[in-house]
């Protein structure tokens, strides 16, 4: 399991290894200073260092991505590290559906970093190119399987209406089971939180990469 974690990385595993070297937090306005300058291991305090050292052992982006922000609150960073370890690698939700849920949240928030990181992971897990393209275009995907359809409906209804109808809840419980319904809710809510951290920090994709969502797009 440890080898799987190292190989796969944690949270932002799809991002390139050159993330930090290529300007970890490209700011939204040219020449604007980053709100959270990139930390290095050498800069970490005694409270930050234990979780920072764990992060660099399993994360392909090192201390980049949301970790650069989270480490400003070391206890929070540790708790999130533990939560994301479960939600990414030990959850009851199949990887394809888990990544689909993350993409739904990423698109709602237009989170450049989340989409940049997780679209490749979703494809690798078996989510079709057409579904990924429809999600990116903010359309309800066509040709979904029953389990993909219930994930889309469940996450979308919960995050936009802040409720789930009895009919949809019963459908989700029948198709996924109670544990997956809880874990699906957990991953969606957690990645809303990650999207908020990234938005607050004005964290962008690497400076040499194209943002998934262009200026002026809805």
Q: What is the pLDDT of residue 196?
A: 97
As a whole number, mean pLDDT of residues 93-102 equals: 98
Distances from the Cα of 164 to the Cαs of 93, 158, 167, 173, in angstroms? 18, 6, 8, 12
Reduce the DSSP state of residue 21 to 3 states and report it: coil
Residues 6+ apart with CB under 8 A from 201: 25, 34, 35, 36, 66, 68, 69
pLDDT at 13 > cutoff 50: no
Q: What is the pLDDT of residue 7?
A: 40
Q: What is the pLDDT of residue 32?
A: 79
pLDDT in tens, 146-174: 999 999 999 999 999 999 999 999 999 99
Q: What is the pLDDT of residue 30?
A: 57
- Identify whether the C-beta of residue 60 lies closer than 8 Å to the C-beta of residue 79: no
pLDDT at 128 > cutoff 70: yes
pLDDT in tens, 188-217: 999 999 999 999 999 888 778 899 998 877
Residue with more model confidence, 176 or 32: 176
Identify the structural domains of the chain with CATH numbers, from first to last.
Answer: 2-90 (no CATH), 95-198 (1.20.1290.10)
CA–CA distance, 23 with 209 (Å, rounded to integer): 10
Q: What is the pLDDT of residue 5?
A: 41
As a whole number, mean pLDDT of residues 173-181 equals: 98
pTM of the model: 0.85
Q: What is the pLDDT of residue 57?
A: 85
């Amino acid at each position: 399991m440890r080898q799987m974690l190292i190989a796969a990385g944690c949270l932002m595993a799809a991002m390139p290894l050159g993330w930090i070297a290529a300007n970890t937090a490209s700011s939204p306005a040219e020449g604007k200073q980053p709100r959270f300058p990139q930390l290095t291991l050498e800069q970490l305090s005694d409270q930050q260092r234990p979780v920072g050292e764990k992060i660099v052992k399993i994360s392909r982006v090192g201390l980049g991505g949301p970790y650069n922000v989270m480490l400003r609150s070391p206890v929070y960073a540790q708790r999130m590290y533990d939560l994301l370890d479960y939600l990414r690698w030990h959850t009851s939700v199949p990887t394809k559906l888990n990544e689909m849920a993350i993409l739904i949240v990423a698109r709602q928030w237009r989170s450049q970093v989340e989409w940049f990181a997780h679209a490749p992971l979703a494809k690798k897990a078996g989510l079709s190119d057409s579904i990924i393209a429809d999600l990116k275009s903010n359309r309800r995907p066509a040709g979904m399987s029953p389990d993909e359809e219930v994930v889309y409906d469940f996450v979308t209804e919960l995050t936009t209406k802040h409720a789930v109808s009895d009919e949809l809840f019963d459908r989700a419980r029948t198709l996924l089971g109670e544990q997956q319904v809880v874990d699906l809710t957990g991953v969606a809510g957690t990645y809303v939180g990650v999207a908020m951290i990234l938005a607050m920090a004005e964290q962008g994709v690497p400076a040499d990469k194209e943002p998934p969502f262009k200026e002026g797009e809805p």
